[in-house]
Amino acid sequence: MSEWEGSDPLVIVRGEGCWLIDSDGNRYLDGVGSIWTNVHGHAVPEINQAIKEQLDRIEHSTLLGLTNDKAAILAKQLVDIAPEGITKVFYSDNGSTAVEIGLKMAFQYWQHLGKPGKTRFISFRNAYHGDTIGAVSVGGIDLFHAVFNPLLFKAIHAPSPYCYRCELCPEKNHNHCQKECLTELERLIATNADELAGLVIEPLVQGAGGMIVQPPGFLQRVRELCDKYDILMIADEVAVGFGRSGKMFACQQEGITPDIMALSKGITGGYLPLAATMTTQQVYDAFLGEYRELKTFFHGHTFTGNPVCCTAALASLELFNKKQILAALPPKIDYLAERLGHIITHDHVGDVRQCGLIAGIELVKNKTTREPYIWEERIGVQVCQEAQKHGLFLRPLGNVIVIFPPLVISLDELKLLMDGIEASIQTICSNS
């Protein structure tokens, strides 16, 4: 806080495509997609127009006892693009609550099924699911979460699939990976199965933990374990959903259907706050019953299903189709891979990780021993500050430089981004 008090942040007043423009007229390429959310760039005419028209119709009513046309149409479209078998939508307005709702839904599902002992959750170390109390309880990043420990419910934390710094594999090398983390996950699930309501996972990439990319097949195995031990799989697609991985949803990369899926961020193309917790007919049906049985899901926010936000989401989905956003991704993903393949040769780059148009570059003090830079050196912050001189806006995760641009970034812009990052790492790390 005291560091922040002395800081002088950029004041962004305008956006144009993938660019942010500050109050002095300086332009910065939005390298982190306005915190992992922007899909189509800023000030997109089609989305702006749709929002303006909706504002002239109605800005908000409520979903309590009513619905609105935009929320209903969007629900249908979300079901159409979701993994096979996900057919129901419950709205809220940010990623944390989308997860929170998933937790409550899973908990109550087992109560209705007559298994009241299934009350606990298993998640992963290095997981991030949001900043509300339930989401923090299943989170696994000590730096953010440890201070709140006395406030939290006790979740079980399995090892993070973090190959570069694996807790379990002595070689710490994904070429030798025996998936020890999955063996340990199964042991933890098997020991606690009678008490477990659900497993929560960020599919394919643990974002805030440092853009930690899971080994291929990891997610499929997690799905198998959830089936084998009869627990609900909650996929937190808040960051990885809406095209980031190269497919619309990360779960689709491994051909799996979770029982509950949390969405936010890219749902509106990154325009306005909206979230959805989607689920299957099976989970939904558990909440049906006679009036006197009181099978109600008690969870409602004032701005749930807001029609302006739903309109932005509909306009974004239309652009996904019209501009063939997913089909345009492979050359960008390949180019990013090529540049990361060069960046890894730098003396202070320990690991590079990529999934679709997401990447993390882990900076290390000593490449041979993998010794990290100490927190006080703020190496990630220094590199990102240097990158501002190259016209980039970036935000690190500790020693990891994050790449998470709008999906519509052009190849030329991606080149600018990678040139600037490479030059900034060279300037800052070569002297450290």
Output the CA torsion sign for 364, 370, 375, 376. Answer: negative
Residue 406 CB, nearest approach to ligand PMP (Å): 16
Q: Of the ranges 63-71, 91-99, 162-170, 283-291, which one interacts with ligand PMP (CB under 6 A)?
A: 91-99
Q: Of the ranges 47-55, 94-102, 317-325, 347-355, which one interacts with ligand PMP (CB under 6 A)?
A: 94-102
In terms of residues, how long is the chain?
Answer: 432
Amino acid identity at 171: E
- For residue 280, the cross-strand partners are 86
> Which run of H or of E encompasses 330?
helix 329-343
Interface residues for ligand PMP in 356-385 (CB under 6 A)?
none
User: Is 161 one of the binding residues for ligand PMP (CB under 6 A)?
Assistant: no
User: Is 238 one of the binding residues for ligand PMP (CB under 6 A)?
Assistant: yes
From the annotation, which residues make up the binding site for pyridoxal 5'-phosphate?
A: 95-96, 236, 301-302
Residue 98 CB, nearest approach to ligand PMP (Å): 7
Which DSSP string corresponds to 177-219?
Answer: ---HHHHHHHHHHHHHGGGEEEEEE-SSEETTTT-EEPPTTHH
User: Is 100 one of the binding residues for ligand PMP (CB under 6 A)?
Assistant: no
Q: Of the ranges 233-241, 245-253, 279-287, 422-430, which one interacts with ligand PMP (CB under 6 A)?
A: 233-241
Q: Of the ranges 14-22, 128-136, 334-342, 395-403, which one interacts with ligand PMP (CB under 6 A)?
A: 128-136
Of the residues 34, 38, 68, 94, which one makes contact with ligand PMP according to CB under 6 A: 94
Cβ contacts of 341 within 8 Å, gap of 6 or more: 352
Three-class DSSP labels, 84-104: CCEEEEEEECCHHHHHHHHHH
Sheet holding 27-30, edge to edge: 12-16, 19-22, 27-30, 392-393
Please say whether the beta carbons of 425 and 58 come within 8 A.
no
User: What is the rounded CA–CA span in Å between residue 80 and residue 234?
Assistant: 19
Please say whether the beta carbons of 258 and 83 come within 8 A.
yes
User: Is 202 one of the binding residues for ligand PMP (CB under 6 A)?
Assistant: yes
Task: Name the residue among 268, 282, 218 with its Cα closest to residue 238.
Answer: 268
Please say whether the beta carbons of 68 and 308 come within 8 A.
no
**Which residue, 161 or 420, has its beta carbon nearer to ligand PMP?**
161
User: Is 236 one of the binding residues for ligand PMP (CB under 6 A)?
Assistant: yes
Three-class DSSP labels, 53-88: HHHHHCCCCCCCCCCCHHHHHHHHHHHHHCCCCEEE
Residue 136 CB, nearest approach to ligand PMP (Å): 10
**Which residue, 267 or 286, has its beta carbon nearer to ligand PMP?**
267
User: Is 399 one of the binding residues for ligand PMP (CB under 6 A)?
Assistant: no
Of the residues 33, 83, 130, 140, which one makes contact with ligand PMP according to CB under 6 A: 130
Of the residues 19, 121, 124, 128, which one makes contact with ligand PMP according to CB under 6 A: 128
From the annotation, which residues make up the binding site for substrate?
A: 128, 265, 300, 395
**Nearest residue to ligand PMP, by Cβ distance, number only:** 95
User: What is the rounded CA–CA span in Å between residue 269 and residue 316?
Assistant: 5
User: Is 95 one of the binding residues for ligand PMP (CB under 6 A)?
Assistant: yes
How far apart, in Å, are the Cα atoms of 81 and each of 241, 265, 280, 395? Answer: 11, 16, 14, 31
Task: Name the residue among 288, 425, 402 with its Cα closest to residue 36.
Answer: 402
Burial class (CB in 10 A: 0-12, 13-18, 19+), 303: middle
Binding string to ligand PMP for residues 207 to 226, with x set by CB under 6 A, is what?
xx------------------
User: What is the rounded CA–CA span in Å between residue 412 and residue 172?
Assistant: 35
Interface residues for ligand PMP in 288-327 (CB under 6 A)?
none
Structure tokens at 402: 């994050």
Residue 95 CB, nearest approach to ligand PMP (Å): 2
Residue 36 CB, nearest approach to ligand PMP (Å): 6
Amino acid identity at 354: Q
**Which residue, 96 or 280, has its beta carbon nearer to ligand PMP?**
96
Residues contacting ligand PMP: total by CB under 6 A: 15
Residue 260 CB, nearest approach to ligand PMP (Å): 13
User: Is 397 one of the binding residues for ligand PMP (CB under 6 A)?
Assistant: no
Of the residues 54, 126, 252, 264, which one makes contact with ligand PMP according to CB under 6 A: 264
Residue 397 CB, nearest approach to ligand PMP (Å): 10
Residue 354 CB, nearest approach to ligand PMP (Å): 17
User: Is 403 one of the binding residues for ligand PMP (CB under 6 A)?
Assistant: no
State the residues that interact with ligand PMP by CB under 6 A. Answer: 36, 94-96, 99, 128-130, 202, 207-208, 236, 238-239, 264
